[in-house]
Amino acid sequence: MMNVKNGTILLLGVLLFTGCGRAETNVVDVTRVISALASDEMRGRQAFTPDAMNAANFIGSEFESIGLSKLAGDSDFIQDFPLYTVTTDSVTVSINGKVVSPDMVAASVSTDSLQWMEGADVTPAFVGAADDLLAVWRSNRSAPNTLLIVHPDQKDTFDQIAGFLRRPSRSMKVEGGSNLVMVLSSAATVQTFSVNVTAMISEQNIANVVGVIPGKRADEIVVFSAHYDHLGVRRGAEPDSIYNGANDDASGTTAVIELARYFKSNGTPERTIYFVAFTAEESGGYGSRHFSETVNPDQIVAMFNIEMIGKPAVEGRNTAWITGFDRSDFGTILQEAVEGTVFGFYPDPYPDQNLFYRSDNATLARLGVPAHSISTTPIDVDADYHQASDEVSTLDLEHMTNTIKAIATGAVTIISGEKTPTRIDPSSVN
């Protein structure tokens, strides 16, 4: 990909910004950071690969040089956690003394060895020929222990679900998770049964990156976040097989780093500020799910999740939109804070795309946090979205720099404690 770094501009930037008290966000820093994150060397930052760890280490080193603090008790900025991959190995089931054929059994388990017999902690449930098997499966897939005896007329749907269950599945926890066994059988009653399942469980650490500016109020936290992972390297996309994810979401990650630089140079804030780069947004949202378990959501007064700000919005440059605008008064507070500037914040113009649910903010919103995504991307017409062509050369870095500055301005009254957004009603979030 094209290298947009310019040595002369970089040197000038260093001269201009060294020694100043407040580090105004500028296009030189923005260009350097996004060019590193979206470089071919980062190979598309796919979660579960060493490339994502390279990106995490880069973000951690930026946080270090900015002078951010670590989370209490942490020795570095890397918030790593295990994720488990469970692959079912063998499923053996007998009903009323007869062994069921292997192609008529399927299981998803959260343990490497499972044995059930009649009288144990599972009662068989029957799914008749006219029942909605998909709905029954969906409502039981997170339950502790389920044994479904499925009528043979349901074979097509059974095969569809079984195909899914036979693939490796990811899980944030093993032991105490859910176990589900499905059997295609014409048995009308079950006097005796035995179920034996073995599975292989592998564990892999993945990592968010978290930096902190402690405020005067330790228990009131403002979060700036973005996901740093993208789609990685894909065969069949040659000659350019690297999905650089410059807009999605190296742009948001760059914003988080530059906002950290700006606010760190601004003295001690009233409220504490967290800067979070999430992993695995593109493959299950595991990063934000883990982060949400490490915080008290009641202490998070607002979450600015930044997604794809490298291209001007449909309303033009100097505008950005906010997902779930009506779910809290977060957006209105930002609008008021930038009043009198050239910049404007608007409600998400693509309500049909469900973008409120398509990023890490939704995980925190489910816990009541006013958590919204801020974006400028023309997602309905963007030919580079989730393509190998999502490169820095397609972005408008002046627009992006202005957007980062506007987010900083928009956040001022929330960080100062002057304004506190209304909570999102968790029961309204799917």
Which residues contact Zn ion (rule: CB under 5 A)?
248-249, 307
Q: How far apart are CA 22 and CA 258, in angstroms?
A: 12
Nearer to Zn ion, 158 or 243 (CB): 243
C-beta of 308: minimal distance to Zn ion in Å? 6
Handedness of CA 162, 82, 255, 416 (dihedral sign): positive
Q: Is 129 helix (H, G, I), strand (E, B) or coil?
A: coil
Nearer to Zn ion, 249 or 391 (CB): 249
Q: Burial level of 79, CB count in 10 A (0-12/13-18/19+)?
A: buried
Q: Helix axis angle, 27-37 relative to 7-17, nearest 10°?
A: 130
- Supply 424's token pair: 């999102």
| Cβ-contact 314, 346 below 8 angstroms | no
Core vs surface per residue 134-159: b (16+ CB within 10 A) or e: eebbeebeeeebbbbbbbeebeebbe
C-beta of 227: minimal distance to Zn ion in Å? 6
C-beta of 277: minimal distance to Zn ion in Å? 12
C-beta of 243: minimal distance to Zn ion in Å? 12
Kindly state the helix (H) or strand (E) to which residue 407 belongs, with its residue range.
helix 397-415
- Nearest CA to 369 out of 220, 172, 212 is that of 220
C-beta of 246: minimal distance to Zn ion in Å? 11
C-beta of 56: minimal distance to Zn ion in Å? 16
- Nearest CA to 244 out of 396, 343, 93, 389 is that of 389
C-beta of 359: minimal distance to Zn ion in Å? 6
Q: How far apart are CA 342 and CA 242, in angstroms?
A: 36
